[in-house]
Structure 1
Amino acid sequence: MTLKDVVFANVGGLKTACVTREQLVDIIASQVDMVRERSASQPMVVFDSNGHGISLANSDKAFYEALTQADLIHADGQSVVSMSKWLGGVSIPERSATTDLMHDIPGRKGLTLSHFLLGGSENVVSQCGELLTKRYANFKLNGTHHGYFDKQNCDQLIAQINAAKPDILWVGLGKPEEQFWVIQHKDKLQVPVIITCGGCYNYVTGDYCRAPMWMQKAGIEWLHRLLTQPKKLFWRYLTTNPHSVYCVLKHKFRQTT
């Protein structure tokens, strides 16, 4: 599957790809091939959507406009998958969590891609790169850089990334900063694919623990995160979860009137 084959659903005002995890990897791999063959020159920008993102996009115009400039938005949250089924028409077949995507790409047999990891602390991003390199024979690490840099004056960092020539640039600066940074600098970045990934590096290193599989399948991984990081996430989930549901229903009503 390539990007032009993707069908999208409007979930909470965001044009979200109706793809499986496997198809998402196919799209990323095809983009890398097209750049290698010089049939494409611009980076493909991949953002994600979850309850927090939907809520933020509907309350922050600048963030919404940044999201609309992505080439593909995938369903990072199970709630997005569930809410897409309320809309009628084509729905999202399954969740494609970014924490899984970071493993799905090197986990694909016969697919060897190079990566540059940007974001997080120096220790976490370096350790994440080392762990993925050891775990996957086809994960090629072309470089890492921490996320504590001058976001407005980063020509040297961009030059470092371009010199490393990765197939995929992962940007883990957190919402909405990572989306703003990517959109601001994508025209200078000479990479086939850019994927925002939030705090995914911390899950690879084990600093954050994922929910049990039954909670992931039930769509309540957010509850596990809340219980393990209550000070950080309590207010976010209390406000954004109900708001995201409202936003999905609001946009559904607008489409049917």
Structure 2
Amino acid sequence: MRSRVPSVTVLGVRVACLPSNQVLAAVGELIDSPGQSLLVYVNAHSLNVTSVNPAYRRVLDTADLVLNDGSGLAIAAKAQGKRFPDNLNGTDFTPRILELAAERDAPVFFLGGEPGIAEAAAEKLTAQIPRLRVAGCRHGFFGRTEEAGILRQIRESSTRVLIVAMGNPKQELWLNQHLGATGAHLGVAVGAFLDFAAGKVSRAPSWMREAGVEWVYRLMLEPKRLFRRYVLGNLLFLGRVAAERISTRR
């Protein structure tokens, strides 16, 4: 599928460039496909991480769908004279993937977050998406000795869509290594989505989300933890985008 999807290359990573309805059609194909497929979201922070984590970059290079999340990607595309039709951030777009799974009667497994978060998210999401079938839930704090049992649990649940929230890039690396053993058709790396869905973390006002500056709201909530990621990280990302553009023109 990757070769058939129009894309914009940002810092060497090919990011799908399609309107949301066409992305959903592609996701439907992946859910229906008997093989294993990986969907990931990328933002300014995650593309910064690729510069110091070659294994993560390799995962992004081979993922079936890489979706644009946030204003940083929009700026990077604009620098090339291109644009992403929609902002496909994980917190807003993942529920649409779950609606698609519900329409197909495809069971979903939630893996990640602190103990109790996946269950709380599942309860709220099934209330919002009545036909959503939850195959199982498991928190994301486990060691290597527990991994085989968790993979068996997911496989025996007969899930078709595996939602993994372990933080970036751990979740993408984990899915790349273990998706085949789970039996799921589609693995989706979702970052903090389960925390938002469970109500542990509040969303920014709608106007901030529509403007693509939800990161400012999160920074206000957790300035010490997120200053390096959002302020320094965003500046670093924009510097890299500018350097890439200058190099391309030369």
When normalised by structure 1's length, the TM-score is: 0.89
Equivalent in the alignment of 2:89: 97
Distance 1:48 1:243 in 2: 19
Q: Work out whether residues 72 and 234 of structure 2, in 8 Å CA contact, stay in contact via their aligned partners in 1.
A: no
Q: Work out whether residues 13 and 248 of structure 1, in 8 Å CA contact, stay in contact via their aligned partners in 2.
A: no
Equivalent in the alignment of 2:111: 118
Distance 2:232 2:55 in 1: 20
Q: Mapping of 1:131-210 within 5 angstroms?
A: 131-151=124-144, 154-210=147-203
* Residues 144-153 or 25-34, more deviating: 144-153
Letter of the aligned partner of 2:18 in structure 1? V
Equivalent in the alignment of 1:13: 12
Which SS does the other structure have where 2:227 is aligned?
A: helix
Higher helix proportion, which one? 2
1:75 matches 2:75:
no
Distance 1:75 1:201 in 2: 19
Q: Mapping of 1:7-86 within 5 angstroms?
A: 7-35=6-34, 41=35, 43-86=36-79
Distance 2:205 2:161 in 1: 29
Which SS does the other structure have where 2:15 is aligned?
A: strand
Change (3 A) 1:179 1:107: closer
Q: Work out whether residues 160 and 183 of structure 2, in 8 Å CA contact, stay in contact via their aligned partners in 1.
A: no
Which SS does the other structure have where 1:68 is aligned?
A: helix
Deviations 1:97-146 (A, max 9, x none): 11112221244584443210000122111111111112212211001111
Equivalent in the alignment of 1:224: 217
Query: Structure 1: 5+ residue runs without aligned partners?
Result: 36-40
Q: CA deviation at 1:180?
A: 1.5
Q: CA deviation at 1:189?
A: 2.8
Distance 1:165 1:251 in 2: 44
Distance 2:230 2:196 in 1: 20
Equivalent in the alignment of 1:38: none
Change (3 A) 1:171 1:177: same
Q: Work out whether residues 54 and 247 of structure 1, in 8 Å CA contact, stay in contact via their aligned partners in 2.
A: no
- Report % sequence identity: 25
- What RMSD in Å do the two structures reach over aligned CA positions? 2.0
